Structure 1
Amino acid sequence: MKTTKKLDSFLLTTSLITVGTIVISLTMFPEAGKAGANYLFNLLTAIFGTPVLLAVFGAVIFLVLLAFSKYGNIKLGEGTPDYSTFSWVAMMICAGLGSATVYWAFAEWAYYFNAPPLGVDAGTTAAYEISTAYNLFHWGVSAWSTYCIAALPVAYHFHVRKNPGLSLSAVCSAVRGKKESTPLWRSTCRVIDTIFIFTCFGGLSITLGVSVPMVAEILASIMGIQPSFGMNLSIILLISAVFSLSSYVGISKGMARISSMNTYLAIGFCLAVFLIGPTLYITKSTVNGLGTMFQNFIKMSLWTDPVDNGGFPEGWTIFYWLYWITYTPFVGLFVTKVSKGRTIRAVISNMLVSGSAGCFFFFGIIGNFSQHANITNAVDVAGLVAAGQGNPAIVQLLNTLPMSTIFIILFAAISILFLATTLDSAAFTMAATVTPGLKAGEDPSPMHRLFWCILLAAVPLAMLFINAPLNTIKTCAIVTSIPLTFILFYMVYGFINWLKTDYGLQTAEQIMQESDIIPKDDVAIPAATVATES
């Protein structure tokens, strides 16, 4: 791949100034920073919480209806798919595994157990069961519907409409149509790109903010020392070194292979825990959790806790939906690249089923292994999490396994590689956004990608330095994803109009024929029907 070193100075300068201001403010005025973040978190979730719940639930319904409609037959691009069905499904399952899952899989159920939703009493059998169900719910169909409804406009824009560019501003410009480009619209596109840049910061701040201290705790337990901010910084530098080396090797030979290898390691780790750990309990609790989740899916999707106002919907469900939104630009690009030659129906079913299955697999095994340890008093996971000691709880859980040192080292390696691949994909996407005129076959400069890697780590490192609580870290997703939500609404609006314009006059059979799903001789096209151009 060729590289280019041209930069968008406006976006670069804006990012540097904003990130620098945040980092300096957090380090110089930590208590004020925590208070301000807490205020924003409560304010924004109160204002936008209910609309977000309705929007995500609406996305699930819309995607199901779209998949079963005639528009589900539309093929995204000509020719045969670039990947076999097995590889395509496997990639979507693996996409469900990432750097954030390694912390939440162990600890998330305990947060719900200590402060259960839906009026369940804390510390009870019902609390165990609802915590598993909510764990699967937050990482399941609704999450992937959020990804999917954002990815389809990008894939349709690129493969069907043949519009250039994969940035959000490029898709929005295509939705706007062939209207003359005005200074106002050009400024709007700059705002869209800027929002995208800071959405990346929001999502990565949470991922690094919870994952890096966990890795530090694990490595400290191996070396017999206490974790520190210096160790957090060293881990970031190590991740940057892994990323930098892979960048020079190349994406296909470097980070892609690391990502693939790490996914196999993660799956192997889970299978080993499943076989060595409490296999029967993991199986029964996962199945029971899935049953509870699907039985209460509508209630969980729209529960606002209007009477007690205990804060669970705002602190978890609404937060998670906005957290997923911060990652939609990455997922949109990923789905567009791997789904050429697939129908809209196939993309929807694969994302909602296979993507959810990847998360169910990881959280079902690891989460219920952790929960069983709490039930048998092997590790007081719930008590440690309540005391803000989630990372020590993970180390203690790993120490309950046979040959625990091997498991701890393997888990540390998996966590570091997950962080490296996550940071690399974010840095590559941001570098590409800030590199104008990037052509097919060109990559941003590796040094430019390394710059973004370091800059992305600056905000979460500042939060780790001031020992920011979880709600402060969560605020990053809330603040950055809300403006992105309005952009996504505009993209979905344009996508629906494209579907009506391009295929509104065609029957399901005609769309299937055009997509080569059925032979041309098997359907007669009425002469009076004139299909609009794609």
Structure 2
Amino acid sequence: MSNTGKRLDTFLLSISLSFVVAIVAGLTVFPDKGNEIANYLFSTFNTIFGTPVLVLVFGSVIFLAALGLSKYGNIRLGEGKPEYSTFAWVSMMICAGLGSATVYWAFTEWAYYFNAPPLGVQTGTTAAYELGTAYNLFHWGFSAWAAYCIVSLPVAYHFHVRKNPGLSLSAVCTAIRGNKPITPLWRAISRVIDVIFIFTIFGALSITLGVSVPMVSEILSSLIGIEPTFNVNLVLILIISAFFSLSSYVGIQKGMARISSMNTYLAIGFCIAVFLIGPTMFIAKSTVNGLGIMLQDFVRMSLYTDPVENGGFPEGWTIFYWLYWITYTPFVSIFVTKISKGRSIRGVITNMLLSGSAGCFFFFGILGGLSQSANVNGLVDVAGLVASGEGNQAIVQVMNSLPFSAIFIVLFALVSVLFLATTLDSAAFTMAATSTKGLKENEEPSPMLRLFWCVMLAAVPLAMMFIDAPLNTIKTCAIVTSIPLMFIIGYMVYGFIKWMREDFALTSGEDILRQSRVAADAVPAE
């Protein structure tokens, strides 16, 4: 697999970074005004697009299930055997798509729903506890992974089946246009698409860093007895940056694949230890009960809009989460495309929706069950700490309630750091791929370009923390950009369906499967 560094898109590189720096500078100079504008835009877009977002994400689950069961599910994405084992492949997808903020929400999210439950449930009740677990699993389950998968498939089909050059959203959209001339207007639209893509990555990772770095810092500080200051955060970010920069530089096979597999084994081991040493029966019963409620009420939870009371739960949580997932979809889709060569469409759908969701159910069920048990038994007032904005302190106290708490805290911090490193690693790869013109199937972006984006992904959030820029406003801006992304995604899905019909509408399922088997045995061209 060759590297390429000769087709660097310097215009995109410069305009994207200028845009990001201008936004950060503007928010630093005018924080209150910037926050006001961002919140106004988010509120307006949420009101207008909130209900359609619920319908579209729910529709994505149905569409992907139907596609996976159809003859088109047999289509193979590229020639040759898969480049990675199924375990490594799934591990990379999960690590790229989740990030270390996942660890924070695994411990605390149920408490937010317990304090202000939806669906007419009263706070402080047994039903509030149970619904808190169910919604926690719902927001990190099938719908979230469907949002990732619905974007990954058009990009993968464009790159591996159609063999179109360019691994970026604008390249996919350009290929969908077919033989239409590339006008100045379309060139401008393509630039806007790529700038939105790069800004949403910075925004999404600012959310992740803004949540996870202070969390890990506070937890480690509690262990060694120091204050979680900016300097502690700085050292932590520098360590993480060096780690994921080295991983990104050496490439996916030697870096990301190994780190993701190691992190997955470590996370599984950590959760099993918590399950066995912690309140085992409560965790098991709470997880199974939450899954039952979530599966039974999946349609209702997916389409819940609260039209009469307008209590704000759908807007503040479900709609926000779906838009949050959408901000991650561009870079996750490109990364999934790169690691999914040799897989079938059905295999991608199955492993993203089922394996990805199962990993989240396992992780959230065990850690959420531990946290909830501590609250139920009066060991830690998790709900009260979360309500007062002290979620990190709640995690520290819950971890300290376990035997051998120091060991668990170290393992917890290590899992968090590895989750963050793998997310940043995959993001740096996709940004390098987007800023490389005409990247082909058997090429990778330049290692130095990947290293450059690693530095930028660490430097921008770090600069914002140093100047005390409003991270919440950056987060809101990133979520706002997910609205135009929805239209881009819609166009990509339209093109994907059109391509499949053009290529395979007249081909039987048996013939598609036969072609897929031949492709699996073929030696891909270098």
Structure-2-length-normalised TM-score: 0.91
Deviates more, 1:33-42 or 1:348-357: 33-42
Choose which of 451, 454, 457 in structure 1 pairs with 2:456: 454
> 2:522 — aligned with what?
none
Alignment check: 8 A CA contact 2:88 2:260 kept: no
Alignment check: 8 A CA contact 1:240 1:450 kept: no
Deviates more, 1:51-60 or 1:497-506: 497-506
> 1:107 — aligned with what?
108
For residues 450 and 290 of structure 1, do their structure 2 counterparts lie closer, same or farther at Cα, with a shift above 3 Å needed?
same
> 2:349 — aligned with what?
348
**AA at the equivalent of 2:394:** A
Alignment check: 8 A CA contact 1:109 1:132 kept: yes
Q: Deviations over 1:35-85 (max 9, x none)?
A: 333323322211211111111011111111212222222222234333445
| Matching of residues 59-458 of structure 1 within 5 Å | 59-85=60-86, 87-88=88-89, 92=93, 98-436=99-437, 438=439, 440-446=442-448, 449-455=451-457, 457-458=459-460
For residues 213 and 353 of structure 1, do their structure 2 counterparts lie closer, same or farther at Cα, with a shift above 3 Å needed?
same
For residues 226 and 29 of structure 1, do their structure 2 counterparts lie closer, same or farther at Cα, with a shift above 3 Å needed?
farther
Alignment check: 8 A CA contact 1:12 1:434 kept: yes
Alignment check: 8 A CA contact 1:114 1:386 kept: yes
Alignment check: 8 A CA contact 1:201 1:456 kept: no
Report the alpha carbon displacement of residue 14 of structure 1 after superposing the two structures with TM.
2.2
For residues 32 and 364 of structure 1, do their structure 2 counterparts lie closer, same or farther at Cα, with a shift above 3 Å needed?
same
Q: Which runs of 4+ in 1 moved over 6 A?
A: none
Alignment check: 8 A CA contact 2:212 2:416 kept: yes
> 1:36 — aligned with what?
37
Q: Distance in 1 between matches of 2:278 and 2:13?
A: 49
Q: Distance in 2 between matches of 1:264 and 1:476?
A: 35
Give the match's secondary structure for 1:515: helix
Report the alpha carbon displacement of residue 355 of structure 1 after superposing the two structures with TM.
0.9
Alignment check: 8 A CA contact 1:240 1:454 kept: no
Q: Which runs of 5+ in 1 are unaligned?
A: 519-534
**AA at the equivalent of 1:193:** D
Report the alpha carbon displacement of residue 97 of structure 1 after superposing the two structures with TM.
5.0
Give the match's secondary structure for 2:380: coil
Report the alpha carbon displacement of residue 248 of structure 1 after superposing the two structures with TM.
4.5
Count how many residue pairs are aligned between Structure 1 and Structure 2.
517
**AA at the equivalent of 2:446:** P
**AA at the equivalent of 1:511:** I
**AA at the equivalent of 2:122:** D
**AA at the equivalent of 1:371:** Q
Report the alpha carbon displacement of residue 351 of structure 1 after superposing the two structures with TM.
1.5
Q: Distance in 1 between matches of 2:133 and 2:225?
A: 33
Alignment check: 8 A CA contact 1:244 1:446 kept: no
For residues 248 and 201 of structure 1, do their structure 2 counterparts lie closer, same or farther at Cα, with a shift above 3 Å needed?
closer
**AA at the equivalent of 2:112:** Y
1:58 aligns with 2:59: yes
Alignment check: 8 A CA contact 1:370 1:381 kept: yes
**AA at the equivalent of 1:462:** M
Give the match's secondary structure for 2:253: coil
Report the alpha carbon displacement of residue 202 of structure 1 after superposing the two structures with TM.
2.2
Q: Distance in 2 between matches of 1:21 and 1:41?
A: 20
**AA at the equivalent of 1:145:** A
Report the alpha carbon displacement of residue 390 of structure 1 after superposing the two structures with TM.
0.6
Alignment check: 8 A CA contact 1:399 1:405 kept: yes
Report the alpha carbon displacement of residue 11 of structure 1 after superposing the two structures with TM.
2.2
Deviates more, 1:30-39 or 1:294-303: 30-39
**AA at the equivalent of 1:40:** L
Alignment check: 8 A CA contact 2:95 2:260 kept: no
Alignment check: 8 A CA contact 2:230 2:466 kept: yes
Report the alpha carbon displacement of residue 318 of structure 1 after superposing the two structures with TM.
0.8
Alignment check: 8 A CA contact 1:233 1:461 kept: no
What is the alpha-carbon root mean square deviation over aligned residues? 2.5
Report the alpha carbon displacement of residue 28 of structure 1 after superposing the two structures with TM.
3.3
Report the alpha carbon displacement of residue 88 of structure 1 after superposing the two structures with TM.
4.4
**AA at the equivalent of 2:379:** A
Alignment check: 8 A CA contact 2:431 2:453 kept: no
Q: Deviations over 1:337-382 (max 9, x none)?
A: 3333333222212221111001101100111111111111111111
Identity over aligned residues, as a percent?
Answer: 70
Q: Distance in 2 between matches of 1:405 and 1:30?
A: 39
Alignment check: 8 A CA contact 1:431 1:444 kept: yes
Alignment check: 8 A CA contact 1:75 1:342 kept: yes
Alignment check: 8 A CA contact 1:4 1:438 kept: no
Give the match's secondary structure for 2:122: coil
